[in-house]
Amino acid sequence: MIAVFSIFTVVISLMINRMDSKFTEIGKKFESATTQRNQLSKQISDAYKRLSLQLVAIDTKLSMDLFAKGVSFQEQEKAVQKAVDSQTSNEEIS
């Protein structure tokens, strides 16, 4: 009876160790996936910031060039709003 109990205990112990190693493996994979997700999120955020800065620089240069040619900022704003409205109506039609 004691031998059966001992074998049963050893089998249970081996099963627990095996499950523990599986859970550890799953945990490492999850940690790796989380790290990759965080890295991608940071890369996307950095790219968005760079693009935003580039757009501001382009917009500023264009505005200054147009102003130098005698186009007032109010006229520029009206033209931009007209272009945005036109684009919006084209998207709604599609």
Q: What is the pLDDT along the chain (94 residues), one digit of tens a residue?
A: 778 778 889 889 989 999 999 999 999 999 999 999 999 999 999 999 999 999 999 988 988 888 888 888 888 888 888 888 887 777 676 6
Residues 6+ apart with CB under 8 A from 73: 63, 67
pLDDT at 81: 86
Domain spans in the chain, listed from the N-terminal domain onward: 15-93
CB atoms within 10 A of CB 94: 4
Burial class (CB in 10 A: 0-12, 13-18, 19+), 90: exposed
**CA 28-33-36 angle, 5° bins:** 125
pLDDT at 94: 61
φ, ψ of residue 71 in degrees (nearest 5): -90, 120
